Amino acid sequence: MARMNMIEAIRDAMDVKLGQDDDVVVFGEDVGYFGGVFRCTDGLQRKYGKSRVFDTPINESGIVGVAVGMGAYGLRPIAEVQFADYVYPAYDQIVSEAARLRHRSHGQFTSPITIRMPCGGGIFGGQTHSQTPEALFTHVAGLKTVLPSNPYDAKGLLIASIEDDDPVIFFEPKRLYNGPFDGHHDRPVTPWSKHALGDVPEGHYVVPLGEAAIRREGSDVTVLAYGTMVFVAQAAAAETGIDAEIIDLRTLLPLDLDRIEASVKKTGRCLIVHEATFTSGYGAELSALVQETCFYHLEAPIERVTGWDTPYPHAQEWDYFPGPARVGAGLKRVMEA
């Protein structure tokens, strides 16, 4: 067991797979010699050579396009998109190509590729270094979407994603890279070295895709969260004294609906939180599913606390971010209804 932050855990996952499987390759902008702008691939080129870990031109459609071709050949590419905000030029290659290749070729060709991308706000990244566009991917048939909240899960989920024979969109909440940030931006963040989920086993292990985790057991209300919002929800529960059951979804698709259903049927209330915009966000899907599976157990309308329907702003970053105060107010609304 080692103490790792999320960057080290993600790097370790790739290190393990590069070491185990000659078909694994890693590439993206600045990932080679330099080791990535967030250092997630630091040292991997030195260890595995330039033909397995390398820099690409600033052309995301090309990054994913060549990954699809490599996957069709039989490799298992890990492509890094430097920020989730930069993924849009690659959207056609992801949606029309990677996601559908198995289906349209009746299994002759597949896309066992993992597309990693840092997401989320909190670093004053403005509208082009802050987004979490998960709903654009969960909406697409043929993609799996993963969004870990801590080093242990990040490593295990990334290994599971790399080993998965279908394309996986792997979001990395960049505000969590160094510690469990709970939305109190004016306070220092506890480093992962002081958090239980910073204990990361060495070598190979997986956290299976499609399994949620309960981060806090409770009886008053179920909170559905993922990524940074898991810790924001924990802070909000502590500060309001509401006995919330907080579920960390970890994988958005496939979704662990059984665990969600069991919890909401137990508490009778549900709050959904995410950092992305409200309208047509993944929270809308979660809300519909909870309504469809738990309607007769609900004692209050389902609430959503999310980012506003605006571009992610720079100076107003903390006004946009759904921090503990807003999540706490959401908890109270759903309890008082």
Partner 1 sequence: MTYYKPLSLYVPEPSVRPGDKPDFSKFAIPKAGSVRRPEIDVSEEEIRDLAYGIIRVLNRDGEAVGPWAGVMDDETALKGLRYMMKTRAYDARMQKAQRQGKTSFYMQCLGEEAIAVAHQMALSPGDMNFPTYRQQGLLIAREHPLVEMMCQIYSNSGDVLGGRQMPVMYSSRDSGFFSISGNLGTQYVQAVGWAMASAIKGDTKIASAWIGDGATASNDFHSALLYASVYRPPVILNVVNNQWAISTFQGIATGQSVTFATRALGYGLNALRVDGNDFLAVYAVSKWAVERARRNFGPTFIEWVTYRVGAHSSSDDPSKYRPLDESSAWPMGDPIERLKNHLIVRGVWSDDRHVQLDAELHDEIRDAAKEAESHGTLGQGPAPSAKEMFEDVFKEMPPHLRRQRQQMGV
CB of residue 229 to partner 1, shortest distance in Å: 22
Binding span for partner 1 by CB under 8 A among 39-47, 72-80, 170-178, 265-273: 72-80
- Provide the minimum distance between the beta carbon of 336 and partner 1 in the complex, in angstroms, as a whole number: 33
129 counts as catalytic:
yes
By CB under 8 A, is residue 101 in contact with partner 1? yes
Question: Which residues in the 148-187 window bind partner 1 by CB under 8 A?
Answer: 164-166
- Is 114 a binding residue for partner 1 by CB under 8 A? The answer is no
Tokens found for residue 301: 């309308």
> Which of 11, 17, 129, 144 contacts partner 1 by CB under 8 A?
144
Does 246 contact partner 1 by CB under 8 A? no
Helix (H) or strand (E) holding 24: strand 24-28
Residue window 203-232: x/- pattern of binding to partner 1, with contact defined by CB under 8 A: -------x----------------------
As to burial, measured by CB atoms within 10 angstroms (0-12 exposed, 13-18 middle, 19+ buried), residue 255 is buried
Rg (CA), the chain: 19
Piece of 52-60, 126-134, 214-222, 314-322 that binds partner 1 (CB under 8 A): 52-60
Rounded Cα–Cα distance for residues 123 and 134 (Å) = 19
Contacts with partner 1: how many residues (CB under 8 A)? 46
Q: Are strands 199-200 and 144-146 parallel, antiparallel or unpaired?
A: unpaired
The whole-angstrom separation of Cα 281 and Cα 137 is 11
- 337/142 Cα distance (integer angstroms): 38
The CA distance from 263 to 65, in Å, is 41
Specify the DSSP element, H or E, that contains 2.
strand 2-3
* Number of other residues whose CB lies within 10 A of the CB of residue 279: 10
Span of 38-46, 98-106, 198-206, 313-321 interacting with partner 1 by CB under 8 A: 98-106
Instruction: Give residues in contact with partner 1 (CB under 8 A).
Output: 22, 25, 51-52, 56-57, 59, 61-62, 65-70, 72-75, 89, 92-93, 96-97, 101-110, 141-142, 144, 164-166, 210, 253-255, 257-258
